[in-house]
Amino acid sequence: MKKLVLGLAVTLAAFAGSAHAVYLDFVAEAAGNERGVADGTTINFSGLDVTFTSLSAGTFFAYFDDLDDGKPAGLGVCEILSAGPGSACADSSDDNIRSGDAVTLTFADPVTVSNFSFTDADHNDLNTNDIDTLLIAINDANDFMQYTFAEAVALVISGVDLIRFAFDDNGNGRQFYVNGFEAAAVPLPAAAPLLLAGLAGLGFASKRKKKN
């Protein structure tokens, strides 16, 4: 029993230690490799798989836009690619998230998202903008919440399987790129330490029984 409890303790500790935060850097992803991707494309960011889909399959494409005069872009949307998935946007002005656009990211396991960063259509910082708005949906792709960019930057949301970014047609919508954000694996479930404590208790009881 003692060996079993110790083994479980080591396993649980290793699991807890494996949870880490990953910055999804879409600016770096686009650097030297500007392109639109087919719906359902999965990209690995430092061990975390993220799957990208657009507003409607085959009509729009999640798009990674490179720097412009040294200013960041990142994740946007393109309607028409010059030569299909993997190529550049046919219209260079249609590579950000604008009216009618949305892009969805899904995760194999729930994550906590935070530390968002955005730039506008001219690649200028939006992170302190407390007037213009965007839409973000969590887990339900059609359940949007409206945020100013400054509010979105401050968000910390746990248990995220899906996140969708869209232009806010019903507010002070601003065209934008998602530069990136942090995604952290959900930590060790709260029940696990209780299970470990229970097994440790069984081990202690077994030891006492042997002494008696």
| Tens digit of pLDDT at every position of the chain (212 positions) | 544 444 444 444 444 444 589 999 999 999 999 999 999 999 999 999 999 998 755 579 999 999 999 999 999 999 999 999 999 999 999 999 999 999 999 999 999 999 999 999 999 999 999 999 999 999 999 999 999 999 999 999 999 999 999 999 999 999 999 999 999 997 655 444 544 444 444 444 444 444 54
Cα(23)–Cα(21) distance, integer angstroms? 7
- Domain parsing of the chain, residue ranges: 1-19+189-212, 20-186
Handedness of CA 25, 30, 36, 41 (dihedral sign): negative
In angstroms, the CA 209 to CA 14 distance is 31
The answer to whether residues 90 and 168 touch, using CB atoms and an 8 Å cutoff, is: no
- Tell me what pLDDT residue 20 has: 82
Contact 164, 141 (CB under 8 A): yes
What distance in Å separates the CA atoms of residue 107 and residue 33, rounded to the nearest whole number?
Answer: 23
Q: Which residues contact 21 (CB under 8 A, 6 or more apart)?
A: 182, 183, 184, 185
Structure confidence at residue 4 (pLDDT) = 41
Angular region, 207: left φ>0, alpha ψ -120 to 50, beta rest: alpha
